[in-house]
Amino acid sequence: MSDKAIFLDRDDTLIEDPGYINHPDQVKLLDGAAKGLVEFAAMGYKLIVVSNQSAVARGIVSEQVLEQIHNRLKQLLAENGAYLDRIYYCPYHPDAVIPKYRKESNSRKPNPGMLLTAAEEMDIDLGQSWMIGNNSCDVEAGSRAGCKTILIGHCSHYKQPEPGKPNPDHRAVNIKEAVNIIKKHHHSSDKHPAQAQPVKTENQRPESKDQSLESPVISLESCEQLLRDILQQLKSVQRAEMFGEFSIMRLMAGVVQIIVLFCLLISIWFLMNPGEADNSVLIALGFAMILQMMALTFYIMQRRK
């Protein structure tokens, strides 16, 4: 009996994407990635990374360094109790700087070559498998291979595919939500086994249908995740503002305010001392008013900075 698999893009799906990664120290797991893999494995899926690596073709990283990067990824996953069954990558690109990598390749997504190779080598049932990635080329590669697809990314980043290109079967904010989508699919399949096979997701709906019909399937979890992200962002902003309170303008305003109080005290002393001239009181009050205006000016300048 063939196995089923979860095919995963690498960058911005499992690890952070700072650009072209060219050193193992740049590998940083995304939040929830390791836990997601553990849950996929518990559902009986093989875990396979399929990644375009044009950085090799562009001369940014060698295949030897790329192997070190992937070993680092495996190490970080192992430290969190997760693993990958295999990693496939495509080093080719039609505009490669290095001649031996300059070609069109069926392995380069959106072509399904890497998924088809994995299916043959690892005895994978593609019809029972999923492709998860953050890019339309991941969706197209998965769809062309016969897999169900999940597009990862915040709602604000969603773009309608080009005409003739497939829609993702599902959309998720991150890999945590992708896990929940696949769990729901399993639960639905267990309840209605006779209907599980013929059901094909949103891709078979006419293009004239409103795409918002997909939303109720994941809307609650999407909203919860977005609210958590918003709360985290607000906390970050508050922390940034807390440590950004000090400024030279604010310091000067405080110093001038102290001098204003000193001038007012001198004015009160002159008023309580009958021997002092009224002119001294007026001078002290005048200084206090001028300095108070300076303090307000410094404070306003600091606020507008």
Catalytic residues: 9, 11
Whole-number Å distance between alpha carbons of 304 and 64: 52
Contact 54, 93 (CB under 8 A): yes
Whole-number Å distance between alpha carbons of 284 and 291: 11
Contact 63, 56 (CB under 8 A): yes
| DSSP 8-state assignment for residue 5 | E
Contact 10, 132 (CB under 8 A): no
Q: Which residue has the tokens 């039609």?
A: 94
Count of other CB atoms within 10 angstroms of residue 276: 14
Contact 264, 288 (CB under 8 A): yes
Q: Where are the alpha helices (DSSP H) in 94-174?
A: 113-122, 136-145
Whole-number Å distance between alpha carbons of 163 and 145: 19
